[in-house]
Structure 1
């Protein structure tokens, strides 16, 4: 009986162990092939939908009077998103316009003074010429009465009156000439005042224009077509310039940011075809490699990693590759920012091999 049991154990089949060993060896071979054997398809699941979205912020401060959009609402460029209380800005505009009207009237007065001044100068010159004529006659009378007084034919009173009249006319002529000089000197001053009034008008016009702009800024409008997201503004809020009210996401301008390991970029070039699998909808879209970045994410961090140390551990870096969607894909409208996707780039290894440098591990920049 013992011999029969031993013979039974010896006859136990060994094929399960052989199959298990083959499976393990095959698995190891597949893993090594994936790691070391070059392939034309490069895959990653570290990829997300992204876009350059716009943060909507007011340009003036004020209390929110109305909010005209809801969350996730599509909007068009120029559409009013929210309105601020504009009463203060209307008052400021009216004040600026009143100041402009006053200064324009003052400028007209200054212009009239400049226009009138040459006439005043001419009038004063005419008065001076009239005085000169009278003075010439008075001097002749004075000489005549002096001669008569010396000959005894005239009276002393007449002689004194002629002398007094001559001196009076001489004084009047000096005054007239002084007024002419003052009027001539006043002309450039009046012109300068007119120029100053015109500059004041320009300043007032700029203030009116700024007041009009400030009033228009109370209506917060969309700058681009997109969908409203992250809306935080409510009626009654007091907002300041630059405060984020909501975001506008241009869904027609989204792309994929795929973070590939640096080893996967060896044969990757712009223009290569990409298969994009969207996890949320379990659909596959077509894309195109747009560009490969100039550096990894760690290279642009505010505090760059310091590797010049005694204990160094090499870490494979990832670089964000920009992938754009191919046109004429209706399902692309389903994509939203932040969605996870899987991307597979067809590097066309046989096509790009001729572009590689002969030095091992280098890639020709395109």
Structure 2
């Protein structure tokens, strides 16, 4: 045995075997290569990439920004020719003014109808007074005429006056009813006029919205991608003009399910960025995905087969980049990073704003 060990070939084979065993133990994190640090290269910088699109159609009249420019919230990005929409607003405002005038005329008609009712009541009172006087005259002359004291012409004249006064009362009562109906008609039509005014006001508001939508502005601070809009281009609702990338970024690391035991929200994370000459940034775990990545795929795997082979699934872990680091401003969505998590490190409390509670993690079988 000792003679074999003295042979160079046998020594090389022995060292190679020991190296292979050590490599296997390291790959499977078996003693003596166990470590509390978990690492993955399946990690990328993420961010909110907002695609800016118009809500209406028209020709592009102004593009005051350039590719990859930094913009502020409210800054004009693209302007669509607004002449048609300005005229539509003027038309809607004119219609609104006309409907308001019709409504004001309705109030004036109400006043006129109310005055007409008062006049009809006065005419009815006058007719009743004349009726009472004519009836009194007829009541005096009728017995005299029956006795032959009064002349027949006086009796006929008194009776005619009485009947005429009675008809005048009926006419005055009908006039009063007509005045009341005129007021009721005016009040009944007002609801329609008010609804028309409300519709015209809505049309003006919509026209103002359309006019404002001819100006596509930045919803928040950030940087622009490539500008797809061109001066004079005809665009329609939903056309992709440009993309805005806000300054808020984070990292999504896809760890194997065998690496998650012991990870907690709030544990410190070291982020190594390939694009920054392997520079390192500090971060911490925010929360864990509710399911493995395969559950969110378009075509979900079906493992109910006879030749099943167990494959370790990956779970997404959202990692926040700690503030106050100069290199953090250079991170862009889509960059590749390497993430290392020390599961032995103490975790600081992290509030899950969506659920309104503190997230623990996978330690001890507690769900995220």
TM-score between both structures, scaled by the size of structure 2: 0.87
Map 1:10-159 onto structure 2 (within 5 A). 14-37=7-30, 38-159=34-155
| 1:191 pairs with 2:184 | no
Given that 1:267 and 1:349 are in contact with CA atoms closer than 8 Å, whether structure 2 keeps it comes out as no
> Which consecutive residues of structure 2, in runs of 5 or more, have no partner in the other structure?
348-361
Of residues 263, 269, 274 in structure 1, which corresponds to 2:269?
274
Distance (whole Å) between structure 2 residues aligned to residue 297 and residue 154 of structure 1? 119
Distance (whole Å) between structure 1 residues aligned to residue 188 and residue 299 of structure 2? 60
Given that 1:273 and 1:286 are in contact with CA atoms closer than 8 Å, whether structure 2 keeps it comes out as yes
Given that 1:39 and 1:349 are in contact with CA atoms closer than 8 Å, whether structure 2 keeps it comes out as no
Distance (whole Å) between structure 2 residues aligned to residue 329 and residue 302 of structure 1? 37
SS at match of 1:294: strand
Matched length: 348
Of residues 258, 282, 286 in structure 2, which corresponds to 1:290?
286
Higher-Rg structure is 1
| 1:177 pairs with 2:173 | yes
Superposition deviation, residue 174 in structure 1 = 0.3
TM-superposition CA deviations, 1:191-210 (whole Å, max 9, x none)? 22233323322222222122
SS at match of 1:235: coil
Q: What corresponds to 1:254 in structure 2?
A: 249
Distance (whole Å) between structure 1 residues aligned to residue 55 and residue 155 of structure 2? 87
Map 1:173-252 onto structure 2 (within 5 A). 173-251=169-247
Superposition deviation, residue 77 in structure 1 = 0.7
Runs of 4+ aligned structure 1 residues displaced above 6 Å come to none
TM-superposition CA deviations, 1:33-74 (whole Å, max 9, x none)? 331323111111111111122221222222211112111011
SS at match of 1:233: coil
Superposition deviation, residue 222 in structure 1 = 0.7
SS at match of 2:275: coil
Q: What corresponds to 1:321 in structure 2?
A: 317
| 1:166 pairs with 2:162 | yes
Distance (whole Å) between structure 1 residues aligned to residue 152 and residue 41 of structure 2? 129
Relative distance call for 1:145 and 1:365 in structure 2 (3 A) is closer
Superposition deviation, residue 129 in structure 1 = 1.2
Moved more, 157-166 or 261-270: 157-166
Of residues 327, 336, 343 in structure 2, which corresponds to 1:340?
336
Distance (whole Å) between structure 1 residues aligned to residue 316 and residue 155 of structure 2? 115
TM-score between both structures, scaled by the size of structure 1: 0.87
Pairwise CA RMSD: 2.5
Given that 2:267 and 2:343 are in contact with CA atoms closer than 8 Å, whether structure 1 keeps it comes out as yes
> Which consecutive residues of structure 1, in runs of 5 or more, have no partner in the other structure?
1-9, 358-362
Superposition deviation, residue 188 in structure 1 = 3.0
